[in-house]
Amino acid sequence: MIRIYIPDVKNGVLDTKFGNGNLGKKYPNSVSFPIKWDKVKAAKSYALTLIDYEATAELGFVFINWVAANIKKNKLKWDDSFSRPDKMYQFENSMTKHANDYLLDSFYREHPDGVYFGPLPPVEDHNYRLEVFALDIDNIIPEELKNEKLFYDDFLELIKNHVIDYGISSFLYRSQGKIVKNSLTKKEITKSVLNAALPKDKQNFFLDFQPINFSSRALSPRNDDYSLLDIDFLGKQGVSPFFSARNFDLTIYAESEKIKEYVIIITSFAETKSLGVGLNSWVRVGIKKEQNDYKTILPAGRNNFELFESEFPVQNSFGSFCAIAIATKLGLDSVERFEFIKTKYGLIYLPGLTNGNGKYQLEIFGINTLINWAKIAQNSKKPLNSFDVLQTIKGKIIGYNRTFFKLI
């Protein structure tokens, strides 16, 4: 796994000047931070992504901050994204004007296409995930696409079969916002407080990457491709006025006795071309690992209306502000159409919004302790969402697996 070095991340926190509009002059948030990573001997180029999976806290979606490829060296300097764009190819991020049905119209600010958009957590402090990919190809952009506006979903398709190694790093970025009388305002807070060190046990999102494997009757691995999802497990709006989906089975394998439980998160990037953002589709927590067995089995629902009833329901993108905006884009009269899936399995086809060739990400996190999710849910003033889950498991993750899949 590639090791990543970010000089401006100290004690788990990215320097506040690389977000919140502190740098960039005409284009706030546009100054990228220096990054260096280990060289991979066989690599012909590198790519990187910066994603805010915790944007679900306030708005319910996943925010793409930066996607860059065709990087020839194992480092980027201060402000390379904006000042030296010839050093890389940059994809559209979630601050885009090129999405077909852009979800964030009211939040959009003028910004150069694809250029790094720094962290801007509205109210809560967010953890951001930076990934570096070593590729066996010089240029991932084919001639026929060089003049197209490409998104993270396209990026995943273009690096397919070319990744020879990759690395993950993460950091916290603190918010400067607060809610006053239902309005977002800036709070008075010093730079020293924004940059203050995290406790040691909270500085790293991942502690280790012990192997986790899985299988599913719904997912079919295919050579030279991502796994494919049987369309029977994709939800849609049928004779019922509601959207519904049949969640699929999953068998998780791990030898490590240090893993005590699992968390599963599915993210849809199939809507990035239409909405500009990713959607959180499914979160399951409290999956205890059988300590005397390397195998943990999660059964599927038998039909669309027999969804997994979690003892600790976690709200996905269809139970948030995001749902209102999506319903408007679809011309629905009510977000109640999403009632069946908002705290269950929400991998659904959205007419006119979901790209048929889109990618979905399945992540399995292995946790080194048993978490009292009932107490966390009881103490929360609102339904839990993936932000709460990710904040809770930070610093406890010792096993990880991730795969991307498409629809058959």
Full 3-state SS string of 352-392: CCCCCCCCEEEEEEEECCCCCHHHHHHHCCCCCEHHHHHHH
Residue 139's pLDDT is 97
Please give the Cα distance from 182 to 135 (Å, whole number).
46
pLDDT mean over 183-207: 91
Residue 99: pLDDT above 70?
Answer: yes
What is d(CA 164, CA 132) in angstroms, rounded to the nearest whole number?
A: 11
Average pLDDT in the chain? 91
Give the tens place of pLDDT for each residue, 154-168: 999 999 999 999 999
pLDDT over threshold 90, residue 169: yes
Strands 227-229 and 397-407: parallel
356 pLDDT higher than 80 = no
Q: Which two tokens stand for residue 332?
A: 């629905």
What's residue 308's pLDDT? Answer: 62
| 371-405 pLDDT tens trace | 999 999 999 888 899 999 999 999 999 999 999 99
Q: What is the pLDDT of residue 309?
A: 64
* Residue ranges, CATH 3.90.280.10, the chain: 4-204, 208-407
Q: Is the dihedral of CA 317, 155, 204, 227 positive or negative?
A: positive
Q: Is the pLDDT of residue 285 over 90?
A: yes
The predicted pLDDT at position 239 comes to 73
Top-level class of domain 208-407? alpha beta
pLDDT at 106: 80
pLDDT at residue number 233: 87
**Contact 349/234 with Cβ under 8 angstroms?**
yes
pLDDT at 24 over 70: no
8 Å CB contact between 380 and 388: yes
| Of residues 32 and 182, more confidently modeled | 32
pTM for the model stands at: 0.95
Q: Given this model, what pLDDT does residue 21 score?
A: 59
- Write out the chain in H/E/C secondary structure: CCCEECCCEECCEECHHHCCCCCCCCCCCCCCCCEEECCCCCCCEEEEEEEEHHHHHCCCEEEEEEEEEEECCCEECCCHHHHCHHHCEECCCCCCCCCCCCCCHHHCCCCCCCCCCCCCCCCCCEEEEEEEEEECCCCCCCHHHCCCCCCHHHHHHHHCCCEEEEEEEEEEECCCEEEECCEEEECCCCHHHHCCCCCHHHCCCEEEEEECEEECCCEECCCCCCEEECHHHCEEECCCCCEECCCCCEEEECCCCCCCEEEEEEEECCCHHHHCCEEEEEEEEEEECCCCCCEEEECCCCCCCCCCCCCCCCECHHHCHHHHHHHHHHCCCCHHHHCCCCCCCCCECCCCCCCCCCCEEEEEEEECCCCCHHHHHHHCCCCCEHHHHHHHHCCCEEEEEEEEEEEC
Q: Is the dihedral of CA 263, 177, 90, 76 positive or negative?
A: negative
Closest by alpha carbon to 308, among 343, 338, 336?
343
Q: CA 20 → CA 27, 103, 113, 186, 203, distances in Å?
A: 11, 21, 19, 10, 21
CATH of 4-204, one of 3.40.50.12590, 3.40.190.10, 3.40.605.10, 3.90.280.10: 3.90.280.10
Beta bridge partners of 363: 265, 402
Residue keyed to tokens 């003033």? 381
Q: What is the pLDDT of residues 248-258, one digit of tens each?
A: 899 999 999 99
